[in-house]
Amino acid sequence: MLDEFVRNADLFFLIAVRILAMVETAPLLSGEGIPQAAKVALAGFAAAAVYPWLKDAGFVAPDGAAAYVAAVAGEALIGLIIGFFLTVVYAAFTTAGQFFSLQMGFGASETYDPLAQTEIPVVGQFLNLIAMFIFINVNGFQKLFLIGVQRSFMSLRAADLLINREDWFAYMAGSLGAMFGDALILAFPIFGTLLLISVTMGLLSKAAPQMNLLTEGFPLAIITAFLLLATAMPFMVEAFAGLVEAGFESISRMMG
């Protein structure tokens, strides 16, 4: 088997490039906490698994240095697009937490996320952990490699990016806008209620300044937010699971 890989190293490299690019941008797998060697090894194992099937299906490397370099760039771009699109879907849940963190009074409290290598609000980090469990629960990794690897090679070649490049970039730009819309929908029950509480406290503090409602409003907002979060969490989990499923379906449709 190793001799087969050596004889067709150019084809194996093309396959591995797409998978590695997808792993580098996919949810959870793209985190800086995962060693780069592990990502390369995962891409290599996945490429070795699909290589015999792709070779039998007639997938060949192009002739000529210029054509091969263009094919490598195209394969990398396909992998980046697939992983980036799923990361955008995954980020909707964390972004929802960032929307109402400020209203809760936790806007200035941030924790370090070792996977994303950045600081995010406490509530956003909590929802990030919930999103991680949901992604695993809906078989996100299995679908990632089934759709991102097997189905993408079956229906999408590097040349397709040049033919339909305007549609692809329009689709990716639309996905960013949809992510913020989905995050706002997920956060709206809590965000809207906290906004009403803030407005009410502001009006009452103007009507009765001696009550000092500004100081008492923060504990009320925090308690209310946690009660709402506990009440709405089952619905938010179900909605996010639906978003992940819809994301994979969108990628399938995007590949034709």
- Residue 5 pLDDT grade (very low, low, confident, very high; cuts 50, 70, 90): low
Q: For residues 111-139, give the mean pLDDT.
A: 75
Task: Give pLDDT tens digits for 29-44.
Answer: 877 778 888 888 988 8
User: For residues 243 and 92, is the Cβ–Cβ distance under 8 A?
Assistant: yes
User: Hey, what are 253's tokens?
Assistant: 């449709």
**Calpha distance 101→107 (Å, rounded):** 5
Q: Does 203 or 37 have the greater pLDDT score?
A: 37
Whether 244 has a pLDDT exceeding 80, the answer reads yes
Whether 130 has a pLDDT exceeding 70, the answer reads yes
- 225, exposed or middle or buried, with CB in 10 Å at 0-12, 13-18, 19+? buried
For residues 136-174, one letter each, b for 16 or more C-beta atoms within 10 angstroms of the residue's C-beta and e for the rest, the string is eebebeebbbebbbebbbeebbbebbeeeeeebeebeee
**Cβ neighbour number for residue 85 with a 10 Å cutoff:** 23
Range picked from 26-35, 98-107, 109-118, 159-168 for highest mean pLDDT: 26-35
- Residue 144 pLDDT grade (very low, low, confident, very high; cuts 50, 70, 90): confident
pTM score, two decimals? 0.79
Q: For residues 50-66, give the mean pLDDT.
A: 81
